[in-house]
Structure 1
Amino acid sequence: MTTNSGSIFVLYHRGLRTGGPEALHQLVDMLRELGQDAYLVPHPHTAGNDRVEQYDIYDAPEAAEIVDTAENVVVYPETYVHEMSHIKQARRMCWWLSIDNSLTFMAERMWYRNTAGLFEKAKEAAVPFARMWKNGVTPAKLRTDKDVIHLVQSSYAWAFVATRLDVVPSLVSDYTPTGEFQATATAERNRQLVTYNPAKGGHIIDAVKAASPPSIEWQPIVGMTRAEVVATLQQCGVYLDLGHHPGKDRMPREATLSGALTIVARRGSGAFYADVPIPWEHKITPGDTEVATAAAMLPQLIANFEQEVAKQDSYRETILNERARFKQEVEDVFVNGRLGKDAYDYA
């Protein structure tokens, strides 16, 4: 499949500044760099929002609407997978930027919890169920819709989608803009400072804080401007992420580029070396000993900071090369029609 004869429309949430919408901007920008006629299309519910100013660095113009003709392609992020049935002629693609937070699988989990009697009449279960299952976009439905091409942002998503939907997805990741994140000399760092995002396993990190020695300082990354986030990552010793890693998350990469030592839990993409290629000893196994392990690990890592940071040099190099690999991935799928590749095909 090639798309040289038509246009590529990428549906997105206008005005939202998170990793997903930025990846969608990156996709359109790269497609245009490769000579494709590509456009973002704001979802009708978000069309009145202002565009994110920080994304002006991307060549990602908007089209007012999707043109549903046979020579065109429409890319849906997983947040809008339930709307793919609106397209009758164009080739449809679903880009799984997240797994744990995708409404398809979230609805499934909540539905089964509800029918198992774990809770009754919970709004959090009813809303995704009504949207996903009423429209027939269950994993079972997606398995039968063989006309959809599935793209995945991480190897974690590749394995999950391949297993649950009985398809061979294609890796189209994203990349980390590197300009902001310049590593500072280790002598200028506060090695005792551990930073974290409370939205990523914050309740577990609270327990780790309580079990850690008082010499360790803690700084949540919350309520900060972009410049403050960058400065914090450049000044800290450790970035700790014990969250679920629903996709290949951005902040661990930003922290690593900034020269911090990144420690993650083996959850979601964090369990996949292809997604987070840091040493085994820099990943924490979830379970009953997770808190104690993290609390014991941190002082040891801080005491040997230079040596431990050096172990992540190859991860930093990988991040610096992400854009070049992203170009290969996009060209394979959208220009050359080479589908089904995973991260290991680009090693």
Structure 2
Amino acid sequence: MESTVFVVACPKGFVTGGPECLHQLVNAINSLGSVAVLWDPEESRSDAIPAKEYESYGCTWDSEGPKPGDVVVFPEVMTELIPKYYSKNLCVIWWLSVDNFISTSQLPIEVIRECYPDLIHCYQSEYARNFIEMHELGNQLALSDYTNLDFITFASTLKRHECDQSSKKIVAINPAKGFERTEIVIKKFPSKKFLRLENMSRPEVMDALASSTYYLDLGTHPGKDRFPREAALLNCIVLTNTRGASDNDIDIPIDVERFKIDDSLDGFELELLSIVEAMDFNICTNLEMQSTYRNKITNEKKVFDEEVTKFIESIEVEISLVDVGIRNSLLDTHNFMMKVIQERDSALLQVAEMNKSMSWKVTQPIRFCLDLFKNLYKH
């Protein structure tokens, strides 16, 4: 594929899980002999400085954007750009965070399904794969990511935790996610030291996790998050809830009965307290029970390279099947559907406003008509 260029949309200068995945993809494509560049479609960030943390991936930034015939990879938070490039480029959605799409996308999922049937949908997690399948989106490909190799190297230098029952066990937490639930736990654990993973460099995070016994994550797990994997790799016992990607045994393959808590239940913190108190006397045993998870993390880079190879091969096939005429007609359908959806949402908003000031008897006929409109739209 010497003539094909992969343009990967990525916010420049951001240091979070998503941008690192996008850097990893560009690095892997280039390493396999194809050509890939990063591109930030937001003009206001054109002068932003690329994140130093990702310099090791050796990525090149392109300021001009996709040219006709390029393959364009959009993270799910940038799907609103697809209509602009769809007729001249093969477009890919990489589902890194399902929850971010739900909360921020300007392109409804039904429009993606009906107007762009030949998009390639890559999923970073089992959670994302289930979402794609539930919404009947075609052309699915696995495209995960891997834990930064600095953690792999650092982990190889560590010794296993000593099973010292008298030592004070440290619980590492990420206060940026699910802290309203984590705070409940903190108040119930006066004997525990909680270490916040915030405002830290990568070496500082590694040292913090290496000094911790547990890693507690009560966030929403919108994808296969990095912190749980980094913590597991550095010999923390990982404890999570059952939200998002944590609610399956593929993204976080740890015993649900032993290491995962349903934090939607009243009093969940008491159950967690009981579990951790028991684990304090069996640190090494519980670490060993998560060895499968650690081994899987160690092997991520190899799996990712294999997935990228299949991704490139699939792109070759898809390029040969592109029909520009059909794509232009689908764009017309897109415009119609977006108009209908906007009218629907406007009607819903008007009804919501009327409900605040009108009785049920007055709004009931309006609700009936609105439901009728919604059913007509579906069919």
Aligned to 2:224: 248
Separation (CA, whole Å) in 2 of partners of 1:338 and 1:252:
35
Aligned to 2:348: none
Q: Deviations over 1:250-278 (max 9, x none)?
A: 00011111111111111111112111111
Separation (CA, whole Å) in 2 of partners of 1:296 and 1:338:
54
Conservation of the 8 A alpha-carbon contact between 1:32 and 1:59: no
Separation (CA, whole Å) in 1 of partners of 2:242 and 2:71:
36
Conservation of the 8 A alpha-carbon contact between 1:4 and 1:335: no
Distance apart, 1:292 and its partner CA:
2.2
Aligned to 1:322: 300
Distance apart, 1:222 and its partner CA:
1.8
1:66 aligns with 2:65: yes
Distance apart, 1:154 and its partner CA:
0.4
Separation (CA, whole Å) in 1 of partners of 2:178 and 2:215:
13
Separation (CA, whole Å) in 2 of partners of 1:191 and 1:311:
22
Count of matched residue positions in the alignment of Structure 1 and Structure 2: 306
Aligned to 2:12: 14
Provide the secondary structure at the position in 1 that maps to 2:135: helix
Greater radius of gyration (CA): 2
Matches for 1:227-242 after TM superposition, within 5 Å: 227-242=203-218
Aligned to 2:325: none
Separation (CA, whole Å) in 2 of partners of 1:94 and 1:314:
30
Distance apart, 1:168 and its partner CA:
4.8
1:210 aligns with 2:187: yes
Distance apart, 1:225 and its partner CA:
2.8
Distance apart, 1:78 and its partner CA:
1.1
Separation (CA, whole Å) in 2 of partners of 1:9 and 1:223:
31
Alignment equivalent of 2:110, drawn from 140, 152, 168: 140
Aligned to 1:38: 36
Conservation of the 8 A alpha-carbon contact between 1:140 and 1:165: no
Matches for 1:1-347 after TM superposition, within 5 Å: 3-43=1-41, 44-70=43-69, 72-87=70-85, 88-102=87-101, 105-107=102-104, 132=106, 137-144=107-114, 145-180=116-151, 181-182=154-155, 183-187=158-162, 192-212=169-189, 214-280=190-256, 281-288=258-265, 289-337=267-315
Provide the secondary structure at the position in 2 that maps to 1:187: coil
Separation (CA, whole Å) in 2 of partners of 1:33 and 1:53:
20
CA separation of 1:278 and 1:52: change in aligned 2, threshold 3 A: same
Distance apart, 1:152 and its partner CA:
1.2
Separation (CA, whole Å) in 2 of partners of 1:296 and 1:261:
15
Distance apart, 1:4 and its partner CA:
4.4
Conservation of the 8 A alpha-carbon contact between 1:162 and 1:168: no
Instruction: Report which of the two has the higher share of helix.
Output: 2
Aligned-partner residue type, residue 230 of structure 1: M
Q: Deviations over 1:172-228 (max 9, x none)?
A: 01000232342343139866111101122111111112223x322211212223322
Please identify, of 322-331 and 176-185, the stretch whose mean Cα deviation from structure 2 is larger: 176-185
Conservation of the 8 A alpha-carbon contact between 1:155 and 1:171: no
Distance apart, 1:169 and its partner CA:
2.3
Separation (CA, whole Å) in 1 of partners of 2:283 and 2:233:
15
Aligned-partner residue type, residue 306 of structure 2: Q
Please identify, of 261-270 and 175-184, the stretch whose mean Cα deviation from structure 2 is larger: 175-184
Q: List gaps (5 residues or longer) in structure 1.
A: 108-127, 340-347
Conservation of the 8 A alpha-carbon contact between 2:11 and 2:19: yes
Aligned-partner residue type, residue 22 of structure 2: L
Separation (CA, whole Å) in 1 of partners of 2:97 and 2:64:
25
Aligned-partner residue type, residue 271 of structure 1: D
Q: Deviations over 1:4-56 (max 9, x none)?
A: 43111001100000010010000000001111111111222322110111211
CA separation of 1:28 and 1:207: change in aligned 2, threshold 3 A: same
Distance apart, 1:165 and its partner CA:
4.5
Conservation of the 8 A alpha-carbon contact between 1:175 and 1:326: yes
Provide TM-score, normalisation by structure 1. 0.83
Separation (CA, whole Å) in 2 of partners of 1:148 and 1:191:
52
Separation (CA, whole Å) in 2 of partners of 1:171 and 1:191:
41
Please identify, of 281-290 and 322-331, the stretch whose mean Cα deviation from structure 2 is larger: 281-290
Fraction of identical pairs, as percent: 30
Please identify, of 261-270 and 280-289, the stretch whose mean Cα deviation from structure 2 is larger: 280-289
Separation (CA, whole Å) in 2 of partners of 1:200 and 1:184:
29
Provide the secondary structure at the position in 2 that maps to 1:179: helix
Q: Deviations over 1:264-299 (max 9, x none)?
A: 111111112111111221111232142222122111
Separation (CA, whole Å) in 2 of partners of 1:338 and 1:243:
38
Provide TM-score, normalisation by structure 2. 0.76
CA separation of 1:37 and 1:277: change in aligned 2, threshold 3 A: same
Separation (CA, whole Å) in 2 of partners of 1:338 and 1:282:
43
